[in-house]
Chain A
Amino acid sequence: MQTNFLPHLLADPDVALAEKILRKCVHCGFCTATCPTFLELGDERDSPRGRIYLIKEMLETGRPADAETVTHLDRCLTCLACMTTCPSGVDYMHLVDHARAHVAKTYERPLADRLFRRMLRLVIPNPSIFRLALIGANLARPFARWLPAKFAGLFALAPKRLPPPSWVDAAQTIPAKGARRRRVALLSGCAQTALDTAINEATVRLLTRLGVEVVVAEGMGCCGALEHHMGETDAAHARAAKNIRAWTREIDGGGLDAIVVNTSGCGTTVKDYGHMFRNDARLAEDAARVSGLARDVSELLADLDLAAALVARPRLRVAYHSACSMQHGQKITTLPMELLAKAGFEVVPIPESHVCCGSAGTYNILQPDLATRLRDRKVANIATVAPDVIAAGNVGCMVQIGTGTPTPIVHTVELLDWATGGPIPDGLEALTASENASA
């Protein structure tokens, strides 16, 4: 696509990169076909091609963002389905990152919106505050209808039963069972450690059982994705830098074979640290090293001998939901399904599996209407394959889909942990009781 950037703007390497990305787009419109917001709204401005155009118009002159452009960028889920579909290799992810940073710098949101976003940034990445907030949400639930509509999304997502903090999320080194085959660092995640502690516990059990030593590094915290997607580049970079330093100490110390992430949304961001710090003389090298070692937990498991550890379990019918950050962000498509099949489950694909469930980080809190439409679409698609249980590799999707269906939803590693001798995942007890009876 032709661009007309003011020449002096191109001196900024980020703008120059955006221009290069824009030039690659041939305006063929293929990406519109898989964009969840275009599927729902049928409006060019809410399609990738339309957003690319709006971004182009804004960046070419460097003018401040306007309310309309912001509206359409805010509606983007950053699901990256457009990148999977685009035959021309347009790097929408880094384009929209840059556009969001431009919005954050040049656009003043209405006060209520600003405060709300600031609150999310304060609360979610800090597990202890987040836990308090969730308890608060539960206490306030009866009064929800007197609170501003903005909070509705938050209330919908707050789980009714909160787990206590888990031992597994404290900084420590957890030795492998038996001979040590690998040494990895685990990203504990931020919201995950408050919302669903079972995931990290299952991950650690499973990995150590398979001969992996797991390090929960001192100083590691939220990956920065939340602020990154809000365009708050500096805050996001500060969090990322902390993690890079924490893991670099481990790489240079005891050594690491991988940095394991079991929340694919965070995995996409950690794998991008190298890009985020590419122009930072002090951290570029370490960041690239960290990104190079980052693996989704399923990628690590594919290298380990799962088969040898299997125990007999009922053959449940599992619908695998591929998170956008998994399939589009990290391009991990069939691997988790192969692992589940190898572990003895009947794995069924979900129709329209490329379409986002509406979770998308804080999207379901910031855009509750669209998020709910997408959730209902996803739940209806899942229902067509009538599974016993839904598996996913991203806590955000689990919470989001969980609010719309009575079918239990668990993390892929919880099923794999169970299949290799771990405890039965929460919510499956009833299912297996009847399965056992009929078997």
Chain B
Amino acid sequence: MSLTMPAPEPEILAARDDLIARLREIVKPANVVHLDRELAPWECDALTMYRQKPLVVVLPETVAEVAAVMRLAAELNVKVVPRGAGTSLSGGSLPLADGILLAMGKFNRILEVDFENRVARVQPGVTNLAITNAVAHRGFYYAPDPSSQIACSIGGNVAENAGGVHCLKYGLTTNNVLGVEMVLIGGEVVRLGGKHLDSEGYDLIGLVTGSEGLLGVITEVTVRILQKPETARGVLLGFDDVKAGADCVAAIIAAGIIPGGMEMMDKAAIAAAEAFRPCGYPSDAEGLVIVELDGTAAEVDHLVGEVAKIAEANGATSVRVSTSEAERLGFWFGRKNAFPAVGAIGPDYLCMDGTIPRGRLADVLTRMDELAAKHGLRVANVFHAGDGNLHPLILYDAAIPGDTEKAEAFGADILRLCVEVGGVLTGEHGVGVEKRDLMGEMFDEVDLGQQERVKCAFDANGRLNPGKVFPTLHRCAEMGFMHVRSGDLPFPEIPRF
């Protein structure tokens, strides 16, 4: 792999046995995993291109255990990588050879559902879908719905500011999290926000959401739950030209309609989905747009008609409106299975995640085809069309020498293209290690310096998830920060436990 991680610190590697012994005093001995042959299952997340066995894996069961581990980490100056469900596509939970991997899988309980205040308080290892399942019997749900929602953890969602098909209307994770409990390096437990919409002082939850495990370990999350819309209907649109599809998406938004979801797929993605399991998509279309409208029945019926009209005006070659719940789900089937469908022909795939101004879509797709030809690989595109978030899926075969490097180079070119047309490096999967070295394409030294200062305020010694997000992490002292070990408290106004 052509990824450079921070060099393992020899004194930490040398003190491994001592660290393991100390960890076994904190958590149940069986929850410290250290035999080489047992570490492999944690060596990567869903970005399998990069793999590294951790120094040791710890599976804490209580907040007190997490705090004690973080205290020990600060004392021994050991790095810590938090891990949720390990579904990150940017290598966010890639372990470090000289770091503890703190796996939060045992934090899997729903602590409280408060229908009165429409919130749920959950442990960070609870899966996104489990929250919805826990409140569905009263007609509620948790809105952000990443395609990985069955498995990804809410802690990981907060860390990555995860999004999904329905985020166009209901917001990303950051718009749906009201409170967070977090353990800082050194072991302090802080609580941010609560059950209410806004809290006094800085919006630190906003800061923590999307922090990719660099600022603290999340140990509890309070999320907003919403009442399920009365009804939802889908519209499936085919276009013989992606530009027409992109124009249609823009026209729908311009008409003041905010669909529950609005997704686009290109020809390669349609073909992959159809080959995986036939789902009735128009096979001759160059581009496909799925629009979902939700709300009261009268409102939805009206909007469905409006969308169909706009689509026809924009040259849609086929327009299908769902007349049953089964049909609506059928429209989504291919889109929801786009990743495994592509995986089935890959055999490996690299999922990119960039955001572009919607108006540049046709242009970007054309240039992406040129890049595919240049790198000799295939690419399929799925696209959160409503908010401009593009997911090119690069197909490669890890068994062919050189293919992995080609895929990496192709991916980097795609992200440069996104930045060049005025977009950004990531939409919802985070920077992790995957996009780390491209941060310079997007931000200059001053920008990056400011972001690092935030990191320093929480973690002056760079112990939490180093090697992620920032191409090179400067020593905080260079940035005008004193090393804060256990004396001065940053953010003294935050309640501490």
Interface of A toward B, CB cutoff 8 Å:
1-3, 23-24, 26-34, 38-39, 41-45, 47, 49-50, 53-54, 56-57, 66, 68-69, 85, 87-89
Contact = CB atoms under 8 A, between A and B. Distances in A.
Given A26-B339, A29-B46, A57-B37, 16 more contacts: A2-B398, A2-B399, A23-B399, A24-B343, A26-B46, A26-B349, A28-B87, A33-B127, A33-B129, A42-B107, A42-B108, A44-B41, A44-B86, A54-B41, A56-B40, A68-B38
B59 A43 contact: yes
B311 interface: no
Interface in B38-92: 38, 40-46, 48, 59, 85-87
B33 interface: yes
A270 B348 CA distance: 34
Contacts of A53: 40-41, 43
Contact of A44 (B46, B105, B107, B108): B105
Nearest to B38: A68
Given A27-B46, A89-B344, A42 B59 contact: yes
A87 B339 contact: yes
12 contacts: A2-B48, A2-B348, A26-B349, A27-B44, A29-B86, A30-B151, A31-B151, A33-B129, A44-B41, A44-B86, A54-B40, A56-B40
B37 A68 contact: yes
B187 interface: no
B106 A43 contact: yes
A57 B108 CA distance: 28
A1 B344 contact: no
A39 B33 CA distance: 19
Contacts of B210: none
Contacts of A30: 148, 150-151
Interface of B: 33, 35, 37-38, 40-46, 48, 59, 85-87, 103, 105-108, 125, 127, 129, 148, 150-152, 337, 339-340, 343-344, 346-349, 398-399
A23 B107 CA distance: 31
B343 A26 contact: yes
Interface SS of chain B: helix, strand, loop or mixed? loop
Contacts of B349: 26
B22 to A, nearest CB: 21
A45 B34 CA distance: 13
Given A26-B340, A33-B129, A38 B105 contact: yes
A44 B148 contact: no
Contacts of B59: 42-43
Contact of A42 (B33, B43, B105): B105
Given A39-B108, A43-B59, A85 B150 contact: yes
Contacts of A28: 46, 87, 148, 151, 339-340, 343
Nearest to B109: A42
User: Most B CB atoms within 10 A — which of A1, A24, A29, A53?
Assistant: A29
A234 to B, nearest CB: 28
A16 to B, nearest CB: 14
A33 B129 CA distance: 9
Contacts of B399: 2-3, 23
User: Most A CB atoms within 10 A — which of B41, B45, B85, B340?
Assistant: B41
A56 B40 CA distance: 10
Nearest to A69: B37
Nearest to B338: A87
Which 8 residue pairs are nearest across A and B when measured between Cβ atoms? A42-B105, A87-B340, A42-B106, A50-B41, A2-B398, A53-B41, A33-B151, A26-B343
A33 B150 contact: yes
Nearest to B83: A44
A39 B150 CA distance: 13
Nearest to B106: A42
B363 to A, nearest CB: 30
A43 B107 CA distance: 11
Contact of B85 (A1, A3, A32): A32
B125 A29 contact: no
Contact of A29 (B38, B148, B343): B148
B48 A1 contact: yes
B125 A26 contact: no
Contact of A45 (B41, B44, B150, B347): B41
A371 B107 CA distance: 21
Contacts of A68: 35, 37-38
A1 B349 CA distance: 10
User: Most A CB atoms within 10 A — which of B43, B86, B148?
Assistant: B86
Contacts of B106: 41-43
Contacts of B344: 24, 88-89
B127 A57 contact: no
B332 to A, nearest CB: 13
Contacts of B33: 45
Contacts of A23: 347, 399
